[in-house]
Amino acid sequence: MNQFWENEYVLTAANYSVVILCLIVFLAVFELVTKYKNWNEIKKGNIAVAMATGGKIFGIVNIFRYSIEHNDSFMTMISWGIFGFILLLIGYFIFEFMTPTFKIDEEIEKDNRAVGLISMIISIALSFVIGAGII
């Protein structure tokens, strides 16, 4: 059985599957904390929501990239991925807190593309910082 898990194709498929599952769960959490419904807004053509959501997807997956690169076991990889996601989520709340003159969620829901772009860049940038700390 060890030989099965040492196969690079099997390991890649397993990592892929775990990350996809975690991505779905983490996006559902983001859906709960935002005031708008991501996929409904994207379906309506809301570019700001698409950019913000795309940044979250990139951020989550990039954190897992670092986690896969630095860890051999699935549990350690998942643990670092969850920890990284929590930090990314905290970054989202800090962004909201740092803009007291307007509400991020409301501006993104109104298709304010400038806010959507900044939100995307923050998610992407934080994922690199978080990933750099993964051991």
Contacts (Cβ under 8 Å, ≥6 apart) of 87: 126, 130
Model pLDDT, residue 84: 96
Secondary structure of residue 99 in the 3-state scheme: coil
Instruction: Take residue 34 and report the two structure tokens written for it.
Output: 């935002």
Phi-psi region of 45 (alpha: psi -120 to 50; beta: other; left: phi over 0): left
Domain ranges of the chain: 2-132
Model pLDDT, residue 1: 63
Query: Does the pTM of the predicted model rise above 0.85?
Result: yes
DSSP state of 43: H
Contacts (Cβ under 8 Å, ≥6 apart) of 22: 60, 64, 78, 81, 82, 85
Model pLDDT, residue 5: 66
Positions of the chain with pLDDT under 50 = none
Alpha helices in the chain (DSSP H): 2-6, 8-33, 38-43, 47-70, 74-97, 104-109, 113-132
User: CA dist 118 to 21, 43, 54, 95, 127, Å?
Assistant: 27, 21, 12, 10, 14
Model pLDDT, residue 71: 82
Q: Is 83 exposed, middle or buried (0-12, 13-18, 19+ CB in 10 A)?
A: middle
Radius of gyration of the chain (CA): 16
